[in-house]
Chain A
């Protein structure tokens, strides 16, 4: 399943890049793309575990980009 989320307050392009790299390494994430220009996160993961994977991504975001909010 592929889903797009809005990102609030992702401040710099390099942070967005690092954020994307980090999300790609989260367990269960098949693909991830952080678009700094449109401030969007596109997340791809298996349907059955999407919720769990998304929860892990949110947790990671809270850790490395505390100012950034992922809006479902």
Chain B
């Protein structure tokens, strides 16, 4: 609690003590015994005035000040009118005193204010703590010495040293040292990441085991950590539709309730129905529930909590509007490479002719591919796994797009596509495994083939299942790859549809086609289309989809710019998790709206027919506010999502 809140709490406690005293004296009949009639009324007034003034003097002062500026619908003013009105009710002929209500309403109103300011301050702090990834200093080498400076003062190409336990202050490349990095604050990923010289490190990670010296690659303002912080800080500026609806609603709610209160107080008694005292009391009860605070606070608080909670899982949402849209996602479109698959090739099958050992086949192929940087060549060498004796390899010719021919240990080897081998007069065996097929021949004799494929990420299958479980009706995969490869991956992962052999610009067209189909169905107008890509070459598609999700974005600026939601890690399972967080947030938002509005309307109706008094009204008002805030704070709790 801050100073202001503590002061308010003290005032409330003192006021409550006086209130209890007054209530005891009045209810026990002591006042009547001591002062008689009508002296007890004056005594009662004086006794309840004490807690009223202690609890609410500032409300009345603010009311006076604001009314001076023409703010009629100021809640301070309305609360002052309601409470002073309650005291004044006794002036009507044939009426009961309502002084206890006057004091109590003010007291509870202040309790509500205190709770609201405390709860909001608390959640603001806990969200800030979640985002506590900002490094405090950087140890930079200058003139042969290590100096600690503000990270913002370090310029690219300087060398910084990060000790175990310290946060990496700026993005850079490891020069010396090996260590493990804890990326949990950025990605939500619990497993540490190994780094060695030459590896990139991103700011915000915590260095765990060894001392690293790092060459800085970006100034602080452009480093990952400050981009993330900026993104999350600005997130709540983009307001969700629900939030705007509540804002508009709040603009009308107070004036409408106040006008109703005035009408209720004046019209029935003027028409001769009941006494002024009765109807004015009902009108005052209206004023007690005239503040839309519970709604106005709980909706943005829910979004703020949801965005904060998501960021803790490594899911950065750029605004409440995107979280809201994501909750309505019913179509998820994936880019294949880098999103569902790791983007690196692996040998998935080795098929040999009779009498040939698979290991020999791989050895021959790996040697033929010894000088190639092509990802396929790299994967074959990785499958071989042993040192390649380059001295054995001569006369290498790369045949772009088809393969390679080389002389390996004296025999002439061909590694490549069927076309290439057939051209050289070597018939090939057919291959049934999906992937890129490398046929291998030596001295004109067919040895067998190696199939390499871009393998699915370990959690891709689970991710697609999770999406379907989360209510996504349609999953589509877009790829530039061959039909066969696309079909196999789509089948393995359980993806509903795929579009193969697309050029990058075709992907935008495909997404537009899917959007148009959705528009035609009509009923699904609310269902949103999500596109998930790795942020490389797909910025236009990210922008075109209802919601663009970029994944594996640690360090990729273009993706962070273009996407609406950024996944810090490269796990497809985070997509379903993001949808679950969004759904939960929206559920809480709607619970709060329905609950707060429902209770308010119920109190208004009951008050209008005389079934609710001011006690009930103030409890309903403060209670709704407290419950709505507590409910909103649940949004932050995403641990088990």
**Which residues on the A side are within 8 Å of B517 (C-beta)?**
none
**Which residues on the A side are within 8 Å of B71 (C-beta)?**
64
Is B396 on the interface with A (CB-CB < 8 A)?
Answer: no
Is B497 on the interface with A (CB-CB < 8 A)?
Answer: no
Is B223 on the interface with A (CB-CB < 8 A)?
Answer: no
Residue from B113, B233, B247 in contact with A17 in the complex, judged by beta carbons closer than 8 Å: B247
Is B462 on the interface with A (CB-CB < 8 A)?
Answer: no
Q: Could you show 10 A-B contacts with beta carbons less than 8 Å apart? A: A11-B113, A12-B113, A12-B293, A13-B116, A13-B120, A13-B293, A36-B297, A36-B300, A37-B124, A38-B236
Residue from A21, A35, A64, A66 in contact with B236 in the complex, judged by beta carbons closer than 8 Å: A35
Interface residues as binary, A34-53 with B (CB distance below 8 Å gives 1, 0 otherwise): 01111110100000000000
Q: A33-B237, A63-B69, A64-B69 are in contact. Are A17 and B296 (CB under 8 A)?
A: yes
Nearest CB of B to A15, in Å: 8
Among A11, A17, A33, A66, residue most surrounded by chain B Cβ atoms (within 10 Å): A17
Residues of A within 8 A of B (CB): 9, 11-14, 17, 21, 33, 35-40, 42, 63-64, 66
Interface size on B, residues (CB 8 A): 25
Residue from A21, A33, A38, A66 in contact with B124 in the complex, judged by beta carbons closer than 8 Å: A38
**Which residues on the A side are within 8 Å of B237 (C-beta)?**
33, 35, 42
Q: A13-B293, A14-B75 are in contact. Are A37 and B65 (CB under 8 A)?
A: no
Q: Are B304 and A37 in contact (CB under 8 A)?
A: yes
Is B633 on the interface with A (CB-CB < 8 A)?
Answer: no
Interface residues as binary, B232-248 with A (CB distance below 8 Å gives 1, 0 otherwise): 01001100000000010
Is B301 on the interface with A (CB-CB < 8 A)?
Answer: yes
Q: Are A17 and B250 in contact (CB under 8 A)?
A: yes
Is B122 on the interface with A (CB-CB < 8 A)?
Answer: no
Residue of A nearest to B124 (CB): A37
Q: Are A12 and B301 in contact (CB under 8 A)?
A: no
Is B537 on the interface with A (CB-CB < 8 A)?
Answer: no
**Which residues on the B side are within 8 Å of A64 (C-beta)?**
66, 69, 71
Is B291 on the interface with A (CB-CB < 8 A)?
Answer: yes
Q: Are A13 and B300 in contact (CB under 8 A)?
A: yes
**Which residues on the A side are within 8 Å of B251 (C-beta)?**
17, 21
A33 vs B247: C-alpha distance in the bound complex, in angstroms?
Answer: 12
**Which residues on the B side are within 8 Å of A40 (C-beta)?**
233
Count CB-based A-B contacts (< 8 Å): 53
**Which residues on the B side are within 8 Å of A38 (C-beta)?**
124, 233, 236, 304
Residue of B nearest to A63 (CB): B69
Nearest CB of B to A58, in Å: 16
Nearest CB of A to B113, in Å: 7
Is B572 on the interface with A (CB-CB < 8 A)?
Answer: no
Residue of A nearest to B233 (CB): A38
Is B552 on the interface with A (CB-CB < 8 A)?
Answer: no
**Which residues on the B side are within 8 Å of A17 (C-beta)?**
247, 250-251, 296
A54 vs B65: C-alpha distance in the bound complex, in angstroms?
Answer: 24
**Which residues on the A side are within 8 Å of B291 (C-beta)?**
14
**Which residues on the B side are within 8 Å of A42 (C-beta)?**
237
Is B117 on the interface with A (CB-CB < 8 A)?
Answer: yes
Is B535 on the interface with A (CB-CB < 8 A)?
Answer: no
Is B292 on the interface with A (CB-CB < 8 A)?
Answer: yes
**Which residues on the B side are within 8 Å of A37 (C-beta)?**
120, 124, 236, 300-301, 304
Q: Are B69 and A13 in contact (CB under 8 A)?
A: no
Q: Are B236 and A14 in contact (CB under 8 A)?
A: no
**Which residues on the B side are within 8 Å of A39 (C-beta)?**
124
Give the residues from 230 to 271 in chain B that come closer than 8 angstroms, CB to CB, to chain A: 233, 236-237, 247, 250-251
A66 vs B62: C-alpha distance in the bound complex, in angstroms?
Answer: 10
Residue of B nearest to A36 (CB): B300
Nearest CB of A to B247, in Å: 6
- Taking A9-B4, A13-B116, A14-B292 as given, write out 18 further A-B residue pairs in contact, using a Cβ cutoff of 8 Å, ordered by the A residue number: A11-B117, A12-B75, A12-B297, A13-B297, A14-B75, A14-B296, A14-B297, A35-B236, A35-B237, A36-B120, A36-B300, A37-B124, A37-B300, A37-B304, A38-B124, A38-B233, A64-B66, A64-B71
